[in-house]
Structure 1
Amino acid sequence: MKILFCAVSFLAAFASYSQNNLIIKGTVKDSITHQPLSFASITNMNSHQTVLSDKNGHFKISISINHLLSVASVGYNFDTLLMNEKNTQADTLHIFLSPLTRSLADVTVYGKIKFSAYQLDSIKRRKDFFETMSEHTLPVFSNANSGAGVGLNLDHFYNREKRKRKVISLFDLMEQEQYINYRFTPQLIAKYTSLSNDSLEIFMQQYRPTYNWLRKHVEEDDMIYYINDKLKLFFKRK
């Protein structure tokens, strides 16, 4: 999982804000089949804008240099892309998401407890993420000591822990986008609205619910009421 490996660069993305807004185009595809992924969410983690890819995997989003994009799709590991000068100059961004795979061991461990598809995928992502975190360590020792041996460098320790907290916080934000994708699906919208093609894409883009709202409204009936309410607004605007 290529998530947050370069913590320093990613944190710099959050700290840097450019006044030069750009509209960039991209495509999201399966990393194995290279098939386009529709309804993938692409989020600018600095501006908090989210757009969805169309049926061909295409998207457009507003960014500035050094902004950070997060890309998520149901059944896939999410990925991140730092919009440095090289990436902002590309005609089209090509983003490939790797499918989530669950081993027999995962099924054995979790088989006795009933989990939703989202929960199983989330467990897998978190397992991979924290395994990755444990493999990337920073030096915490200092030579500036009394001569009694290698001393602990508290500055390095606190900086490392601060970076880890930032990275974990960023992971949690991306996981929230995945939760929205699992709850607010094109299949669910089409079932209760009969919308399709461009109309379905526009509706899902305009009325994508927030993570907090979804956590407070966990029943499908809540979603049905929400969809019906937004559908009235949708047809009123057309």
Structure 2
Amino acid sequence: MFRQFAFALMLLFLVTATNAQQRMVGGYLRDSLTQLPIRGGTLTNAATKQRVQTDSRGFFVLRAAPNDLIYARAPKYKQDTLRYSALFADTITILLAPAAIVLQNVTVESGYAQYQMDSFSRRAEFEEARGYPLTAVDRSRHEGFGLVINLDRFFKKKYRGKKAAERMFNNMEKQAYIDHRFPPQMVAFYTGLKDGELLDFMRQYTPSYEWLRQHPSREEMVGYLSVQLRAYRKSKATGTLK
């Protein structure tokens, strides 16, 4: 009985000592290329198994003690590991490098096949969620007319709703294509802009869907970035930046 009591007392002492060493650690998870925050990243303390996610600012709060191993993960990024030290500042920054699939569009003209596969999957999910797509052709055979156009269907509220959903989906697909062709990692790679400057540049100079479709090559994109970067630098120098 005495041994059991002594063991329990020692275990309690160790747990208390460990908890005393722990502290709340705040930090930011950022893209190493763009310095932009990574939203929805996961930080895990290997010692305590505590797991937290970053918010829209890339911010997280995690409890850690000296020498605890912290794993940082995020979709489309390489995993990184940090060993926490009491010498760290109150707020730490962890940088994750984009995964190879993200960087494909930066240096080579590839990755389009993956975009097409993703687009096809999104279309299939959309059609499954809303039911069969609306058709203007009534395929029931009417006496003496064969296939006819059923205009009444267009004026029913439920079909107007389907058309609105179709427009929304098409707009989302256009934005997905823009994001695929004009990711912040690529813009940062060719312009050298980071963080706030990168966001300002992309807010003003992201090309339209139509322009991107008409200019599919990497050389055209690099030329576009060169011209727009000069315009951006000039507007900053003259104080005319919007």
Give the TM-score of the pair, scaled to structure 1: 0.45
Q: Normalising to structure 2: TM-score of the pair?
A: 0.44
Tell me: higher relative CO, structure 1 or 2? Use CA pairs within 8 A at least 6 residues apart.
Answer: 1
Larger Rg computed on CA atoms: 2
Q: Which has the higher helix share?
A: 2
